[in-house]
């Protein structure tokens, strides 16, 4: 327990189950005394989230529905947050989506529809959400999104998501410039592979984890608690001089040739 976030209102988007990066982030934020607001898209996620919050004895300020690929849904969600909570100090964007069919084989075969869907849900969503969050971050604030090495390098099968994460990381930089004048910082965490719902059904995921354990400087994989603590750092005043950054939480794997 620390008091890094006491009195701070933070919106967390993207808890689907106990393995979600957003759940690791929630635990770190809760331990730091943050007041938490959650958004969900699927009814199933709402039920999971409610059960997790109950078990962890976390009382949220608010839980609202938000489909990040729908502007009206985002506007409604942030209007409700404004009305019920007032201002916010932090936002966690931990959502992404691509069609399963686009996540294997060759990138050259990506369909126009699949490309646009991945960009819409995984990259443009940060821009749309930042625009609404800015309106209620009246004391300044911090926005943190989640990325992956496939944004910078070709990682087998990541394909359309790699290109979406590249757009996401570039958006972090452009948003950091736009929002900096309001003392709002925008950063990303690029975590190593972690077994989440998104990783479900990925063939060869064990091999990917094995490669990291063998080659990363720390000779191991990372977990949700490490992503949670790094995200907490970026949301807290400890990182007040940092914006437009992509912080790798990957046991050092990205430095290896």
Tokens of 145: 């999104």
Tell me whether residue 39 or residue 198 sits nearer to ligand N5H (CB atom).
198
E strand residue ranges, the chain: 9-13, 35-40, 62-65, 90-93, 141-147, 184-191, 246-249
CA distance 130 to 117: 19
Residues that bind ligand N5H (CB under 6 A): 16, 96-100, 103, 148, 150, 155, 157-158, 161, 193, 197-199, 202, 208
Beta carbon nearer to ligand N5H, 144 or 179: 144
* Burial letters 97-131, b for 16+ CB under 10 A, else e: bbeeebbeeeeeebeeebbebbbbbbbbbbebbbb
DSSP per residue over 171-237, as a string? HHHHHHHHHHTTTEEEEEEEEPP---GGGTT-TTHHHHHHHHHHHSTTSS---HHHHHHHHHHHHSG
Rounded Cα gap, residues 29 and 24, in angstroms: 9
Between 74 and 179, CB nearer to ligand N5H: 74
Residue whose CB is less far from ligand N5H, 9 or 102? 102
Residues with a known catalytic role: 148, 158
CB of 217 to ligand N5H, least distance (A): 18
Q: Which is nearer to ligand N5H, 198 or 243 (CB)?
A: 198
CB 52 within 8 A of CB 25: no
Query: Taking the complex as a whole, how short is the minimal distance between the CB of residue 65 and ligand N5H, in angstroms?
Result: 15
In angstroms, rounded to a whole number, what is the distance separating the alpha carbons of residues 86 and 233? 23
User: Minimum Å distance from CB 145 to ligand N5H?
Assistant: 11
- CB 191, min distance to ligand N5H, A: 8
Q: How far is the CB of 76 from ligand N5H (least distance, A)?
A: 20
């Amino acid at each position: 327990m620390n008091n890094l976030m006491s009195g701070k209102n933070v919106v967390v988007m993207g808890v689907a189950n106990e393995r979600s990066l957003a759940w690791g982030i929630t635990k770190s934020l809760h331990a730091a005394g943050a007041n938490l607001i959650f958004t969900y898209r699927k009814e199933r996620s709402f039920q999971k989230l409610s059960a997790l919050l109950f078990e962890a004895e976390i009382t949220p300020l608010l839980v609202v529905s938000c489909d990040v690929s729908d502007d009206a849904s985002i506007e409604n969600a942030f209007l409700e947050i404004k009305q019920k909570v007032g201002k916010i100090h932090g936002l966690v964007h931990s959502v992404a989506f691509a069609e399963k069919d686009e996540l294997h084989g060759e990138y050259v075969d990506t369909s126009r529809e699949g490309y646009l869907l991945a960009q819409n849900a995984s990259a443009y969503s940060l821009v749309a959400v930042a625009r609404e969050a800015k309106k209620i971050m009246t004391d300044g604030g911090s926005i943190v999104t989640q990325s992956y090495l496939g944004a910078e390098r070709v990682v087998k099968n990541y394909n359309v998501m790699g290109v979406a994460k590249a757009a996401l990381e570039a958006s972090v930089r452009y948003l950091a410039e736009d929002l900096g004048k309001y003392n709002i910082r925008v950063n990303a965490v690029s975590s190593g592979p972690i077994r989440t719902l998104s990783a479900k059904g990925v063939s060869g995921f064990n091999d990917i984890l094995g490669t990291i354990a063998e080659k990363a400087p720390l000779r191991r994989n990372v977990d949700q608690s490490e992503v949670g603590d790094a995200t907490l750092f970026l949301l807290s005043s400890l990182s007040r001089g940092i914006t437009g950054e992509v912080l790798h939480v990957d046991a050092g794997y990205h430095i290896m040739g």
